[in-house]
Structure 1
Amino acid sequence: MTGSDPTYLGRVSAVSGASITVKLAESLASGLAIIGGHTYRVAQVGSFVRIPLGYQDLFGVVAEVGATAAPANTPIEEIEGGRWMRVELAGEAIGEQFERGLSQHPNIDDTVHIVTERDLRRIYGKGEQDHIKVGTLSSAENITIRLSLDGLVTRHSAILGSTGSGKSTTVASLLRSIIEPSESGGSSGARILLLDVHGEYGAALGDVAKIFSATPQPGEEPLFVPFWALEAGELLDFIAGQLNDNQTIAFTDKIQELKEERVSSVALPGLDPSSLTVDSPVPFSLNRLWYELIDFETTTFTGQQRDQPALENPGDPTSLTPPKYKPHAMGAAGPFLNQSARGIRRQLNLLRSRMLDRRFDFILHPGPWDPDLKGVTAQDLDTLIQGWLGHEKPLTVLDLSGVPSAVLVRLIGSILRIIYEALYWSREKTEGGVLRPLLVVMEEAHRYVSPESGNVAAEMVKRIAKEGRKYGVGAMLVSQRPAEIDETVLSQCGTLIALRLSNPTDRARVKGALPDNLSGLMDLLPVLRTGEAIIAGEAARLPVRCRVFLPRREYRPNSHDPAVSDAWRSRRVAEGYDRVVASWRAQRTTAVVRDLKINREKVDDDEE
């Protein structure tokens, strides 16, 4: 039977756990086989093999080929032939039903066969409702690779690859595969939130996404993150810098007082005034916070009892004009300093500077969510969250490319906190994450989830990675430096999509996140082609080397390399560096030096 069977590769010679050693047949003369009109690569690392066991078939992945794959006690003359192969078993099939894991192991001398197109369709050909198409098998491009959407979202995932490996295109392709209709119906009701650090995805996903930006272009919505929705600690760290315990108490006491005043004037739904804390998301005026604290710090007194404020000009909290008091003087006549001052004048000056800096308007002056002096806002948090998650499109892109680097990580942490807390506390409602899950895609994750970062963004990502599955919040990390991602977070990613990785430290981190028996497959990472990935984990039926679908040119991210040779070969045109400076100053790529006023009139083409 084996002599005439074109799929025959060899026989099992050793079994150790899920790893088996195969002695290849002497008849294998080349690395190619033609079976049923299709060409297959034979005995190559990353390809699949089949071991028939009665009514069952075991399937495995080739991890090593050559003399080093031979068993330890093999005679030297047999080892030198190099006709050995190590296979890592991964699943089994009974009839047409494939299942990961093993119920039995092969025996010595069991035959090993090439996995043909029919076998591959048993593994990948099922079009279950929860599976999405992501690409084609590298060794058989007529076979479509599908991933379990449930496993991809609930068990978290990571897309890892060096710069230029096709990482951004893979993200765009994967998100379109989730959203767009297919034979299984597609996921038009999906909820996906993409944190776009470099502004790459607006053009690629604009037709299926609602885009929010700190520097909005036509067709985009302005991005606002209300400062009063942040925890007091992270807010003070941004607006006031380093504070000792007494200084922190001075700020938090005043914030608590302003929030209590707001709640007592107009009740907020669901909030019991007795349970109000300084971290409760209640609007308060940052202008009043500054004004009342600076007034207390700078007050001078006159009179025998030193209790008469020596006020000259009351100032104005709306315009951030400080009150003016008579300067203190030595001696018994005064004026006298306020002996109860907390020594926070420097921090209050920083707060005023932050509020006057227009770059931070999206967080300190958040449009309709900006409180007046009484803490009243035009809109509440429900409209903010509905704008991000409750619109008619399945994808939301938060373009953070215009956010100053000084506040970027803190802003990401604040966004994640608002989203997670909202879905956590609404988990029993139809808008919550349990009944309508959310996938959060985090680009450039290594910038804020490194082991030593210790920032609010890292803490929120860890919380989502550890607890998000129970509350319907899934995470997809995207990074070019896996070695800089916190090991705890990476270990919680059940599915790894690894593109080309050249750095040995990064490859070691990816290997460490996968079972030991897949290390041979991960050795292929440096030689993967652009747009080619090794996919392993919860969402994949088997660890697989896959060519990810390439989106149409108009749907690709703005992350392509500049065409250096073409640009340098062409002749220079007239250049205006005043436009460069205008964009720099405006912090907007479309800024111009002067607006051209053009009067457009309709032209009548009818001949007289």
Structure 2
Amino acid sequence: MNTQHIGYIVGEVNTGSFVFVSDPENYPPKHEYLIIPEVKEREGVGYRKVDVLAQVSRISNYSDILGDRLSINELESIISRYTATTKVYGEAKILGYMNNQKEVVMPRSAAIPGQKVYIAPSEILESFFTKDIRSGIPVGSLITRDEVKVSLDPNGFRRHAAVIAQTGAGKSYLVGLILENLLPLGATTIVLDPNSDYVMMRKKPDGTATGISEDVYIYRPPGLKGRRFTDEEIKGADPYTIDFSKLSANQICDVAGISSRWAVIREAVSDALSQLQGVYGPQQLMDSLERVAMNPATDKRKAKAATNATTYIRRLLNYKIWGSRDIPLEELVRPKRLSVIDLAGLQRNVSEYIVQKTLDDIWGKAISGELRYPVFVVIEEAHNFAPGAGTSQRGGNSLGIIERIASEGRKFGIFLLVVTQRPNKISSNVLSQCNSQIIMRLTNPEDMSAVRRSSEGLSEDLFQDLPGLNKGEAVVVGELTKVPTMIKVRGRESGEGGSDIDLERALDDALEDYKRDKVMQAPEVKKREPKSKW
């Protein structure tokens, strides 16, 4: 084989792993890919020879002379008199071989002790990890081989996917990379974005337009202040509004925060709503409630309920979401379109309602057979909208529809991409339905345990590596790649909305502003300031 020979298989060998001995001056690092050539594999009534791919899971140096029970004096004495030689042993996990149908299958026959082991050639690795250029989603390279590019199989999203990582590991950056490469394939994608992480998808970091800018639409409620990015910075946004008069009494109560346990107050809202016609908003509903409360013919119990309901409905006046029209669903589900619904700055219950409403509308269109194209739905901060049992998160009514789409959506062409930094706090009914997972750095033991429970393809070796991943590195398991893969995420074209602030620069700016304000506020003759008592 025309590649580097690095050792020999020794000891007991099985179909899942093997041990090899290597030259101390020339041994492979952990995670390197190896090839065992011409392993005899049974096929039908005969045999064929296959090249089996494996990955190094452990490297150990061992010395016969320098044992671990020597004292420091004994050790120093031996080192001064002898040149201690070491042996290098490695353990490798078998990933499989490529059959005639270009599928990766596990061997049923074990290699033989004494067989040579080689560094896997790049061309073999590309056949395992690179989807064809027409339909693959390029995301980076192998963590040990920059020259071997990795692309995801779009069909891997058919059974939902999850991107999981602790804060700062690069999950939103990776999702943005996936989105900007999924869009040219014709994908219809809706992003539910609570932190403005994806509002910069139309701009490159230098401010010029991206190649996908004409197919990216940003929706955000008008009039909200304090956003991270202005409309001008994101190259404009379409107003996202909800027609209040189309909401049912229960929906209004949910948004207003009226608990389902307060049946009397909810009934008051329903009664007041029945008195309204045409187009109306929260103010008209308040007026109707006040008329009920002030009407002498209303019994005291209902009058008190109407008064209490008014307190909750008054909150809705401050929500900058109400308008005279809803965003037509037909607009969001057009082919080759990326729609980002920016939820940043909205109250939690309003965000939950928008998530629920959007998914309800898509689901209704899907089950009625009116969804012409597959729809990808990205749910950022998914643990807030689909909280698990026993968590303190509310999740509103969005949990039910997310769980339903997770279990049944693939039958109707709705595919979830769930993004979270707290897998321990997300509904297990949602996470377990994500057959493919891209996992970046995780160190929280509870979150790691949740990933272990939900991911069938994550081996113990890969699981133990999660805390040691660097920013921008990830483990891909499931149907997105042929075998579990460790990748280094490549750069993307679009700007990043979810990046951390440069704290040092921000503090420098704050100090400069402080000094400038100090100079501008200083009197012509500085008065003597009283001595601090501290």
| Same fold per superposition (TM over 0.5) | yes
1:83, distance to aligned residue in structure 2 (A): 4.5
1:107, distance to aligned residue in structure 2 (A): 4.4
Partner amino acid, structure 2, of 1:347: N
1:437, distance to aligned residue in structure 2 (A): 0.6
With over 3 angstroms needed to count, the CA separation of the structure-2 counterparts of 1:517 and 1:481, relative to structure 1, is: closer
Structure 2 counterpart SS, 1:407:
helix
CA distance in 1, matches of 2:56, 2:427: 30
The equivalent of 2:60 in structure 1 is 66
With over 3 angstroms needed to count, the CA separation of the structure-2 counterparts of 1:559 and 1:13, relative to structure 1, is: same
1:355, distance to aligned residue in structure 2 (A): 4.1
The answer to whether the Cα contact below 8 Å between 1:46 and 1:544 also exists between their aligned partners in 2 is no
The equivalent of 2:501 in structure 1 is 561
The answer to whether the Cα contact below 8 Å between 1:88 and 1:517 also exists between their aligned partners in 2 is no
The equivalent of 1:361 in structure 2 is 320
With over 3 angstroms needed to count, the CA separation of the structure-2 counterparts of 1:45 and 1:198, relative to structure 1, is: same
With over 3 angstroms needed to count, the CA separation of the structure-2 counterparts of 1:90 and 1:252, relative to structure 1, is: farther
The equivalent of 2:296 in structure 1 is 300
The answer to whether the Cα contact below 8 Å between 2:435 and 2:455 also exists between their aligned partners in 1 is no
Task: Name the stretch that deviates more: 409-418 or 565-574.
Answer: 565-574
CA distance in 1, matches of 2:110, 2:246: 59
1:560, distance to aligned residue in structure 2 (A): 3.2
What is the correspondence of 1:24-423 to structure 2 with a 5 Å cutoff?
24-25=21-22, 27=23, 29-31=25-27, 42-45=28-31, 47-50=33-36, 52-53=38-39, 54-66=48-60, 83-94=88-99, 97-102=101-106, 104-109=108-113, 111-127=116-132, 129-152=134-157, 154-179=158-183, 186-187=184-185, 189-205=186-202, 207=213, 208-215=215-222, 217-218=231-232, 219-227=236-244, 232-239=249-256, 241-242=258-259, 243-252=261-270, 289-300=285-296, 338=299, 341=302, 343-357=304-318, 360-362=319-321, 365-366=322-323, 368-369=324-325, 384-390=328-334, 394-423=337-366
With over 3 angstroms needed to count, the CA separation of the structure-2 counterparts of 1:347 and 1:57, relative to structure 1, is: farther
With over 3 angstroms needed to count, the CA separation of the structure-2 counterparts of 1:240 and 1:530, relative to structure 1, is: closer
The answer to whether the Cα contact below 8 Å between 1:157 and 1:494 also exists between their aligned partners in 2 is yes
Task: Name the stretch that deviates more: 42-51 or 200-209.
Answer: 42-51
CA distance in 2, matches of 1:58, 1:231: 61
CA distance in 2, matches of 1:536, 1:134: 14
The answer to whether the Cα contact below 8 Å between 2:167 and 2:421 also exists between their aligned partners in 1 is yes
1:564, distance to aligned residue in structure 2 (A): 0.5
1:213, distance to aligned residue in structure 2 (A): 0.7
The equivalent of 1:316 in structure 2 is none
With over 3 angstroms needed to count, the CA separation of the structure-2 counterparts of 1:386 and 1:64, relative to structure 1, is: same
CA distance in 1, matches of 2:302, 2:505: 65
1:127, distance to aligned residue in structure 2 (A): 1.0
With over 3 angstroms needed to count, the CA separation of the structure-2 counterparts of 1:408 and 1:82, relative to structure 1, is: farther
The equivalent of 1:314 in structure 2 is none
CA distance in 2, matches of 1:121, 1:421: 41
CA distance in 2, matches of 1:228, 1:63: 61
CA distance in 1, matches of 2:418, 2:516: 40
The answer to whether the Cα contact below 8 Å between 1:49 and 1:62 also exists between their aligned partners in 2 is no
1:158, distance to aligned residue in structure 2 (A): 1.3
Partner amino acid, structure 2, of 1:479: T
Write out per-residue CA displacement over residues 422-471 of structure 1, whole angstroms, 9 at most, x where no aligned residue. 3332xx33xx0xx4111111112222222134521222221121111111
Q: What residue ranges of structure 2 are gaps of 5+ in the alignment?
A: 40-47, 63-84, 204-212, 224-230, 519-534
With over 3 angstroms needed to count, the CA separation of the structure-2 counterparts of 1:30 and 1:222, relative to structure 1, is: same
The answer to whether the Cα contact below 8 Å between 1:12 and 1:111 also exists between their aligned partners in 2 is no
1:203, distance to aligned residue in structure 2 (A): 2.0
Structure 2 counterpart SS, 1:475:
strand
The equivalent of 1:459 in structure 2 is 400
CA distance in 2, matches of 1:51, 1:167: 37
CA distance in 1, matches of 2:517, 2:265: 50
CA distance in 1, matches of 2:505, 2:263: 59
CA distance in 2, matches of 1:465, 1:220: 30
Q: Which of 443, 446, 459 in structure 1 is aligned with 2:380?
A: 443
With over 3 angstroms needed to count, the CA separation of the structure-2 counterparts of 1:347 and 1:570, relative to structure 1, is: closer
Q: Does the alignment pair 1:510 with 2:506? A: no
Structure 1 counterpart SS, 2:200:
helix
1:121, distance to aligned residue in structure 2 (A): 2.3
Aligned residues: 461
With over 3 angstroms needed to count, the CA separation of the structure-2 counterparts of 1:297 and 1:105, relative to structure 1, is: farther
Identity of aligned residues (%): 22
The answer to whether the Cα contact below 8 Å between 2:249 and 2:266 also exists between their aligned partners in 1 is no
1:508, distance to aligned residue in structure 2 (A): 2.5
CA distance in 2, matches of 1:393, 1:464: 22
CA distance in 2, matches of 1:82, 1:229: 75
Q: What residue ranges of structure 1 are gaps of 5+ in the alignment?
A: 32-41, 69-79, 180-185, 263-282, 302-336, 370-380, 578-608
Write out per-residue CA displacement over residues 179-225 of structure 1, whole angstroms, 9 at most, x where no aligned residue. 2xxxxxx41x2111111211132223352410001147242111113
The equivalent of 1:530 in structure 2 is 471
C-alpha RMSD over aligned residues: 3.4
Partner amino acid, structure 2, of 1:395: L
Partner amino acid, structure 1, of 2:60: G
